[in-house]
Each structure stands twice: as C-alpha cells, then as structure tokens.
Chain A
Amino acid sequence: QSVLTQPPSVSAAPGQKVTISCSGSSSNIGNNYVSWYQQLPGTAPKLLIYENNKRPSGIPDRFSGSKSGTSATLGITGLQTEDEADYYCATWDSSLSAGVFGGGTKLTVL
C-alpha cells in the first residue's frame, strides 16, 4: 500500500486530454513539493514535472502539473501514442522521514 494514492490506470484517445491524480496527506504533499516521473516500458524513470508544476528542459508543454492541498495532478494534452507509459508522483514525507512514491498509473492511448 503506497503512501501516495494514484489510479492504477487511465486511458484516452490520441489527441485527447487526460489527468492523473495523486492523493496524500499533510505530512507529504500538503507540505512538500511534488514531482512526476514517466517510465517507458523497459527503461529507467525520467523526470517530467518538478516543484509541483515546472517542466525540465526538453519536456513538451503538453505536460503540466498542479497541486492543491494534499493532492496533486498531472495533466497531459494532445495525447500521442508515445505517451503510453507508467507515471509516478513522488515527494518527501516529513513524518516518516522518507521518500514516497505513488503506486503508479498506467496510461493507455487507445
């Protein structure tokens, strides 16, 4: 059972928009920054969003992040088949003194 809760899967058609939620508590998301990672099949995770809503260079603006209270959301617009991957949220949990990841969400582009 992950400290951060994500839906196991989401799906949408090419060109559409999808959102992935990440729910936590005051000890993690509520008082710390959230980051998001994309993991393509058979590869290492890659940083997608940091400090809740910032994109590293090279990440298209189709990807966005937001945070409100103890929840965070990853948004992907203009879905492409190459976006099919697993997505994870992460943050620090101040009560546990531990890094925490969401359970991951598998995105299927139909």
Chain B
Amino acid sequence: EVQLLESGGGLVQPGGSLRLSCAASGFTFTSYAMNWVRQAPGKGLEWVSTVSGNGGTTYYADSVKGRFTISRDNSKNTLYLQMNSLRADDTAVYYCAKLNEWRFYYFDLWGRGTLVTVSS
C-alpha cells in the first residue's frame, strides 16, 4: 500500500528539541523529493521544508531556517525533521508529503500528520 506514516510528535518545552520521522511505503522512495508541511491549530497550511530525492538539496521556510533540519535515509525509506530551539509558534500538526515531480510541483501523497505542542 502506498502510504506515509509520521511519528515523533509530542509535548516539548520552549527551547527544546524533537525529531519527527516519516516512514514511506509502496513507492520508490529515492525517486521523489519529500516535504514537511505544518498546520497550526485553526490555521492554514504552511510549507516547512523540502529535500531532494538523493538528499543533496534542501530548502527551508524562513520561519524555521537555522533551527530545523530536513534529512532522509533512503536505505530505510524514511524522512526526518530535526527541530531545535522550538518556540510556541511551532505548535502544529506536521504532515509529511511526497512531491510528484519538481517541475510540476504538487504533493500527491500526504501522511496523517503528527502533533507537536511546544509549551511549558
């Protein structure tokens, strides 16, 4: 079955760290760029980061640049998001999303999301 399954969310104090994982199955993981998209409670979707298929190219939203690191382990079909120096406004559901083809830029597969709550 083609799917993405996020894990690693939870409650963390401001200034803390958390690592999210996204396990992919049912497609050739290395062939596709992968993304993290988040949604704060009651708010819209916000693109967070993209990593190319071989992991060599990454992009970040200004709001997370310098604090978050996206990476992937193609041998494990897994995407990661290392989140450091977390702030209250990082509280959101974090979705893993597969980019179909970069030149067309659309997300054709989404995970169910994992909730990150930053609070003391």
Contacts and interface: CB of A to CB of B under 8 A. Distances in A.
Assign chain B's interface to a size class.
20 to 34
Contact of B47 (A33, A56, A98, A104): A98
B1 interface: no
B107 interface: yes
A103 B37 CA distance: 13
B100 A50 contact: yes
Given A2-B44, A44-B111, A45-B45, A99 B35 contact: yes
For the side of the interface on A, what is the size category?
20 to 34
Contact of A35 (B46, B60, B105): B105
Nearest to B105: A92
B32 interface: no
A100 B45 contact: no
B61 A37 contact: no
A37 B37 CA distance: 13
A99 B111 CA distance: 18
A102 interface: yes
B71 to A, nearest CB: 18
Max count, chain A CB within 10 A of own CB: residue among B61, B97, B103, B105 = B105
Contacts of B105: 32-33, 35, 90-92, 99
Contacts of B97: 45
A33 B104 contact: yes
Interface string A66-99: 0000000000000000000010101110000111
B112 interface: yes
Nearest to A28: B105
Interface string A28-42: 000011010101000
Interface string B32-62: 0001010000001111001000000001111
A52 to B, nearest CB: 9
A81 B10 CA distance: 34
Interface in B61-120: 61-62, 95, 97, 100, 102-108, 110-113
6 contacts: A44-B110, A50-B108, A56-B108, A88-B45, A90-B105, A99-B37
Interface of A: 2, 32-33, 35, 37, 39, 44-47, 50-51, 56, 86, 88, 90-92, 97-104
